Amino acid sequence: MTMQDIIKLVVDNGIAVACFIAFIYFIFVDKKESNDLFHSTNEVLKSINETLIKMQVNLQQLNDRVEKLEKGKE
């Protein structure tokens, strides 16, 4: 299947079918490129997860400081 075939599917059958077929083509036919994409996506998700963990720690520290300030006012 070529890109022209995919474009023809878009014109003939609608974008949903063509996107599905292009996705299947991308995963099963072009394995090296899809593996590279999945690897880079995995790295981005790991980075996002690490950032969220750091944000959670910072938020907890901020909450602790606010509690100390509130107790100091009482």
- Judge whether residue 8 has pLDDT over 80: no
What integer pLDDT is reported at residue 18 of this predicted model?
A: 67
Per-residue pLDDT band at 6 (split at 50, 70, 90):
low
What integer pLDDT is reported at residue 60 of this predicted model?
A: 92
Structural element, H or E, at residue 25: helix 15-28
36: exposed, middle or buried (C-beta count within 10 Å: 0-12, 13-18, 19+)? exposed
Query: Which domain range does residue 17 map to?
Result: 3-73
CB atoms within 10 A of CB 54: 10
What integer pLDDT is reported at residue 30 of this predicted model?
A: 65
What integer pLDDT is reported at residue 21 of this predicted model?
A: 74
Residue type, 45: L
Q: How many domains does the chain have?
A: 1
Report pLDDT digits (tens) over 20-63.
Answer: 777 777 777 766 666 777 778 888 888 898 999 999 999 999 99
Residue 22: closest CA among 36, 8, 35: 8
Contact 6, 22 (CB under 8 A): yes
